[in-house]
Structure 1
Amino acid sequence: MPISNNACHLRTGRYSEPGHIYLLTAVTELRRPVFTDFHLGRLVVNQLRHAHDDGIVRSIAWVVMPDHCHWLVELRTKTLGELMCRFKSRSSITVNKACRSSERIWQRGYHDRAVRQEEDIKNIARYIIKNPIRSQLTSRIGDYPLWDACWI
């Protein structure tokens, strides 16, 4: 689904603060199920891990679904915009290189939600990693290959 003319309003009031926890969602262009291909999904996973390993975020939980991904992070050194620009750019480059393509992988923008301190982070993480079950891609989370959580 194409992005609306109101997409710029997604950034209105957006605030990034190191040490805070955010739930981030990115959607593929036209909601194409790009990541039904396990190997392409793993390329996205690698970019999530690079952001963690480079100290930009502390990844708490994530799942890569066929047409979107959810990522629960504690922000460390960059803004949300810088983080998501880096993630989407680098994952697009690696996926397009693997496919010998130059298509847009991700829709413009992303959704973010700051997690309040009183919220149960483990419940949010469980919600994220159960996405493949709710979408009927699997009946057991252990059978779905494109997720992780810091407690597992």
Structure 2
Amino acid sequence: MPKLSASHRLRLGRYDEPNRIYLLTANTLFRAPVFRQVALGRLVAEQFRKAQELGFADSLAWVVMPDHFHWLIDLKRGSLSELMQRTKSLSARVVNMAAGREGSLWQPGFHDRALRRDDDLVQMARYVVANPLRAGLVQKLDDYPLWDAIWATRTSCPSS
């Protein structure tokens, strides 16, 4: 059997279906902390919003960390691969333009996890958005600007 790259191994056995909840994760190339600049992270978050507006997926929760993102979605149409290719491609284009950089922004591939029906969705969303706390980036979640969840009750919109 031929040796497969890590990105190809991620695709083995991938099955996606509409109206199923998925946790998606993508890393920047070489885990470069590109999104320490909040404005660049907001450009990624804008792609999550656009995917929802276009009916590809409903965003349930997300966080953009300095070198990766987690995105909890309800897939509506298309495949996970199509959604992630679109999201990563468009975000790379706008981030590169805004930062005056060239080349790849994202590592090839992505990680996905389908949630089972008995998984606690709110608990998973809390896990996603608590990433900055666990990473020691902030002491309070409200101090981190690059996250949102449909259950969030904050006075300011983190993606604006």
User: When the two structures are superposed, what TM-score results if normalisation uses the length of structure 2?
Assistant: 0.91
Q: Aligned residue for 1:7? A: 7
Deviations 1:26-75 (A, max 9, x none): 00000000000011001111011100111110100000000000000000
Deviations 1:4-37 (A, max 9, x none): 8333111011011000000000000000000000
Is 1:42 equivalent to 2:42 in the alignment?
A: yes
* Residue identity opposite 2:77 in structure 1: T
Q: Aligned residue for 1:147? A: 147
RMSD over aligned Cα, in angstroms?
1.0
Q: Aligned residue for 2:129? A: 129
Q: Aligned residue for 2:17? A: 17
* Stretches of 4+ aligned residues off by more than 6 angstroms: none
Q: Aligned residue for 2:70? A: 70
Q: CA deviation at 1:78?
A: 1.2
Q: Aligned residue for 2:116? A: 116
* Residue identity opposite 1:21 in structure 2: I
- Residue identity (%): 50
Unpaired segments of 5 or more residues in structure 2?
Answer: 153-160
CA contact (8 A) 2:56 2:75 kept: yes
**1:63 counterpart SS class:** strand
**2:101 and 2:68 mapped to 1: Cα distance?**
19
State the number of aligned residues. Answer: 149
